[in-house]
C-alpha cells in the first residue's frame, strides 16, 4: 500500500507523513527529498538553475519510480505535484494507492510558512505578508480542484500534529475494514 499525502506547502505533509509512517510501521519518503537526491541538488537550486518545467518533468519521473517500489510506504508530495500534467489521474489509477489531502486554510498556511525556516522557491520572491497571502489564496484556489480528488480530506486547521496523524490513521483503518 502507498499512502500519499497531498496539500499546499505548509499543510504538514512531511511532518504528518513521518509520524504516520512510524505509527503504521511503514517506510516514509518525501518526494522533494527524493528529487533532490536524484538531481544531487536542492529543490531551490533546481528551480533557480533549470526552471519549474524541468523540475516538474523530473518530479514525474521520480513519482513513477517511488510508486513502482515494493513495500508499504507513506509519501509526502510536493504542493504542486498533483497539479502538473496528469499526475493526479496517474496516482488515482495506481492499485493500492490511497491519497489524503491535508487541507489548510490560507491563514494557517501563511502562519506556518512565516514561522518556517525552510526555503520555498515559489514564495521566495514575495517580500511582504500581504503579497504572500494573495499569492497563496490564488494558488490554493487553482490547486484545490486537484487536491479535492483525493480519496480522503483531513482538515488540519487548529489541530496538533498528533490529532491530524490520528485522524489519518483512523481514516486508513476505516478504509481497510
Q: Would you state the pLDDT for residue 114?
A: 74
In tens digits, the chain (177 residues) has pLDDT values of: 999 999 998 899 999 999 999 999 999 999 999 999 999 999 989 988 999 899 999 999 999 999 999 999 999 999 999 999 999 999 999 989 999 999 999 989 888 877 665 555 555 555 556 677 888 899 899 999 999 999 999 999 999 999 999 999 998 887 655
Q: What is the CATH number of the domain that holds 154?
A: 3.40.50.300
**Residue 12 covered by a domain:** yes
**Residue 97 covered by a domain:** yes
Whose grid coordinates read 517506510? Answer: 27
Q: Would you state the pLDDT for residue 125?
A: 53
**Residue 65 covered by a domain:** yes
Asked whether 165 and 76 are in contact (CB, 8 A), the reply is no
Strand, coil or helix: what is 130? helix
Q: What domain count does the chain have?
A: 1
**Residue 176 covered by a domain:** no
**Residue 175 covered by a domain:** no
Q: Would you state the pLDDT for residue 126?
A: 54
For 2, other C-beta atoms within 10 Å of its C-beta total: 22
Can you give the residue range of the structural domain that contains 130?
Answer: 2-167
**Residue 173 covered by a domain:** no
Q: Would you state the pLDDT for residue 148?
A: 96
Q: Would you state the pLDDT for residue 62?
A: 98
**Residue 137 covered by a domain:** yes
SS3 content of the chain, % helix, strand, coil (to 5): 55, 15, 30
Q: Would you state the pLDDT for residue 176?
A: 53
**Residue 172 covered by a domain:** no
Amino acid at each position: 500500500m502507498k499512502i500519499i499525502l497531498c496539500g499546499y506547502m505548509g499543510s504538514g505533509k512531511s511532518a504528518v507523513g513521518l509520524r504516520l509512517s512510524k505509527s503504521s510501521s511503514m517506510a516514509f519518503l518525501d518526494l522533494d527529498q527524493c528529487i533532490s537526491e536524484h538531481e544531487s541538488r536542492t529543490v531551490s537550486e533546481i528551480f533557480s538553475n533549470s526552471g519549474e518545467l524541468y523540475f516538474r518533468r523530473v518530479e514525474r519521473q521520480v513519482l513513477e519510480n517511488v510508486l513502482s517500489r515494493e513495500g508499504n510506504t507513506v509519501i509526502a508530495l510536493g504542493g504542486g505535484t498533483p497539479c502538473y500534467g496528469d499526475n493526479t489521474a496517474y496516482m488515482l489509477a495506481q492499485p493500492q494507492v490511497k491519497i489524503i489531502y491535508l487541507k489548510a486554510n490560507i491563514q494557517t498556511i501563511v502562519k506556518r510558512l512565516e514561522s518556517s525556516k525552510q526555503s520555498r522557491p515559489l514564495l521566495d520572491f514575495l517580500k511582504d505578508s500581504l503579497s504572500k497571502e494573495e499569492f497563496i489564496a490564488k494558488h490554493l484556489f487553482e490547486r484545490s480542484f486537484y487536491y479535492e480528488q483525493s480519496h480522503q480530506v483531513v482538515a488540519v486547521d487548529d489541530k496538533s500534529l498528533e490529532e491530524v496523524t490520528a485522524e489519518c490513521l483512523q481514516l486508513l483503518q476505516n478504509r481497510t475494514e
